[in-house]
Amino acid sequence: MRLFSTILLTVATLFFYGCEDSAKKLVMVTTATFPPYEYVSGDKIDGIDPEIIIRISERLGYSVEIQDMSFDSVLAAVQSGKADIAASGITVTEERKKKVDFTTPYVIAEQLIIVKNDSPIKSAADLMKKRIGVQHGTTGDSYVTENIGEPERYKEAPTAVAALIAGKLDAVVIDSEPAKVYVSRNPGLKLLKKPLTYEEYAFAVSKDNPELLKKINTELIKMQQSGELESIIKHYKEINSESSQNGAISDNKTFLERIKDSFQTNFAKNNRYMYLVKGFIVTLEVTFFAVILGIIIGFTVAVIRSCADQTGKLKIADMLCKIYLTVIRGTPVVVQLMIIYFVIFSSVNVDKVLVAIVAFGINSGAYVAEIIRGGIMAVDKGQMEAGRSLGLSYIQSMKSIILPQAFKNVLPALGNEFIVLLKETSVSGYIALQDLTKGGDIIRSQTYDAFLPLIAVALIYLAVVIFLSYMLGILEKRLKKNE
């Protein structure tokens, strides 16, 4: 009961902390892997879009909170009320207009084709039956699908470029300015001169907030007329062009020199390793509390189902538990996470760490429940009968005889479930939570190097799993000594 009370107190604290007054604050969502429009610089998200929104907000008397999430979630965040503005180099399309309102377009962009220097592809006509990479949910994705063929979709543009460099793709279709940055960073790539198509960028606002849309449009038009908007765009294009040229790795260096330079660029430069450190802390926090919540839920469901099987009681509770198990085990955890964030907590400003804890805790609870129930049912029926014959009640027999034996039986399976839970938290980036995997994504978005950031993230996860397995082995040995 003390543990349960502690959990409730922690959850309540996080809840009320997250439900702070946001009357004078605008929440902007973006995908910070799209330079020069949005990218992570140090501890903040910088770029053309954030700078424009910050300046407009200052004039309107608002503060701005910028959240980094998956591109295919930014419009959903605005539509559900979790964010006020989506600013992520978003192209205006008729389909998107049905879901959100768009401001006055602030730039006309192009979709360009990236290929290797020795590629036989010379124009868009040569793309037929080729392996084309795109960022999922972008205009490039839609255009290639409708006019050329089914592309290979990636969560982020840097990943698609890395696949092209590795020879997994023949070409990548991406927006012009980010494409120029990627090519300048990788000497082995080039851009085809003729654009694939043209498009307009605008900011997305909820259809339920026409007043905010009107205010942003008014300020945006003023910035266009005064030349301030053009100045911002020019400034960030120059910054990213210079940093990309300075960060390019020469092909003339030896393998060891390239690894050394890559390590310096990915981790040492600008203290980028801190993205992994901060993300790792968030991953451990979410995993720890989700494990506790999962144990509480799983233990409760397991006892209810076992009692229903053995005594025929608690039929309604047993039915509800079966529905819970069916739904949770039958749907992906990332879908559950997004439903809890965008639907269940749509009208409440709850801390994203709490949302992740609840989502992963509920998901884990379903698997823990069946593991514990299997352990309970594996204990010989004579054990329960012996306890009852000694005058113990059903609850006393479960507590003193059945559960201790069941716990020892299911310990390896429980340990495995917790290890799986640790790795499942890697999808937290879908709700703009910067976990360990997201930290690696941020580094890749800045350096355009897939190898070392991914290896570093994998090694950290591996080290934690080895440590947990070691501690679990020690616990198993101690339990065997008590037999």
- The per-residue pLDDT for 138 is 85
**Element of type H or E holding 57:** helix 48-60
Q: How many CB atoms lie within 10 A of CB 446?
A: 25
Overall fold of domain 22-106+202-248: D-Maltodextrin-Binding Protein; domain 2 (3.40.190)
| Measured distance CA(350)–CA(357) in Å, rounded | 12
SS3 state at 412: helix
- Cα torsion angle, 379, 385, 391, 396, sign: positive
| Measured distance CA(306)–CA(239) in Å, rounded | 64
- The per-residue pLDDT for 147 is 92
The b/e string for 324-338 (b: 16+ C-beta within 10 A; e otherwise) is bbeebeeeebbebbb
Closest listed residue to residue 43, CA positions, set 460, 454, 436, 442: 442
- The per-residue pLDDT for 482 is 64
**Long-range contact set of residues 452-458: C-beta below 8 Å, sequence gap at least 24:** 452/262, 452/263, 452/266, 452/267, 453/266, 456/266, 456/267, 456/276, 457/276
SS3 state at 144: helix
- The per-residue pLDDT for 350 is 83
Domain chopping of the chain, boundaries: 22-106+202-248, 107-200, 273-481
In order, the DSSP letters of 300-313 are HHHHHHHHHHHHS-
- Domain 273-481 in the same topology as domain 22-106+202-248: no
pTM of the model: 0.75
Instruction: State the burial class of residue 184 (Cβ atoms within 10 Å of its Cβ: 0-12, 13-18, 19+).
Output: buried
| Measured distance CA(98)–CA(156) in Å, rounded | 24
- The per-residue pLDDT for 4 is 46
| Measured distance CA(37)–CA(181) in Å, rounded | 11
SS3 state at 146: helix
Q: How many CB atoms lie within 10 A of CB 130?
A: 16
For tokens 């879901």, the residue is 99
Question: Is the CATH number of domain 273-481 1.10.3720.10?
Answer: yes
**What is the mean pLDDT for each group of 10 consecutive residues in the chain (483 residues)?**
49 47 79 88 90 95 92 90 92 91 92 94 93 89 92 87 90 90 86 91 95 95 94 89 56 71 84 91 95 93 86 87 94 93 83 93 94 84 81 80 80 86 90 88 77 91 92 80 65
Overall fold of domain 107-200: D-Maltodextrin-Binding Protein; domain 2 (3.40.190)
- The per-residue pLDDT for 23 is 54
- The per-residue pLDDT for 240 is 76
